[in-house]
Amino acid sequence: MSKAERRPKIAVYAGSFDPVTLGHLDVVRRAIWLFDQVIVAVARRQEKHPLFSFRERVRLARAAVKGIPGVEVAGFDRLLVDFVHRKHACAVIRGLRAVMDFDYEFQMALTNRKLAPHVETVFFVPSEKFFYLSSSLVRELASVGGELKCFVPEPVERALRKKFASIRK
């Protein structure tokens, strides 16, 4: 069966992306090598009190992945496995940085498997240069005016500078 004849392999990479980092993009680029399409799914997650609004996070994620073929961005506010079903995806993508990520991600993967046995969770380890990188670290750096160019895409850097400038006023 040719690639054109089979159903496309779609993966969902879900997170709050507050904000999207170069580490996230590293995972997206790795995932697109294995899947026909990757959907970056921005979770509403208001309980986390995000720096950026839901709409801002979706907009910034779209700007960050612009130009990466096969990647799209969508927001969601429901159970992840329901979103995965609606998008006809076969896998959930997760990034693993450190051992502390593993326990949480393992619990989530097993829970998702119980809810949707036909959906696989695929873990990606980021490049060494992004292994330590997190959105919370980026927010902390931005809050004190730190260097951001090597951590986030340019549209995200601009948005962070603008956001913290307005907070300081």
What is the model's pLDDT at position 132?
87
CATH number of the domain at 86, please.
Answer: 3.40.50.620
In a domain? residue 118: yes
In a domain? residue 156: no
Annotated catalytic residues are 24, 48, 97, 135
* Sign of the alpha-carbon torsion through 27, 31, 36, 41: negative
In a domain? residue 161: no
3-state helix, strand, coil in the chain (%, to 5): 45, 15, 35
In a domain? residue 152: no
In a domain? residue 24: yes
Nearest residue to 121 (alpha-carbon basis) of 14, 25, 7: 14
Quick one: angle between helices 154-168 and 54-65, nearest 10? Answer: 150
In a domain? residue 95: yes
In a domain? residue 28: yes
What is the domain count for the chain? Answer: 1
Residue span of the structural domain in which 117 resides: 10-131
**Tokens 């993966």 identify what position?**
11
What is the model's pLDDT at position 109?
94
pLDDT tens, N- to C-terminus, the chain (169 residues) = 555 567 899 999 999 999 999 999 999 999 999 999 999 999 997 777 899 999 999 999 999 999 999 999 999 999 999 999 999 999 999 999 877 778 889 999 999 999 999 999 999 988 999 988 999 999 999 999 999 999 999 999 999 999 988 876 6
Question: Distance between the two ends of the chain, CA-based, in angstroms?
Answer: 60
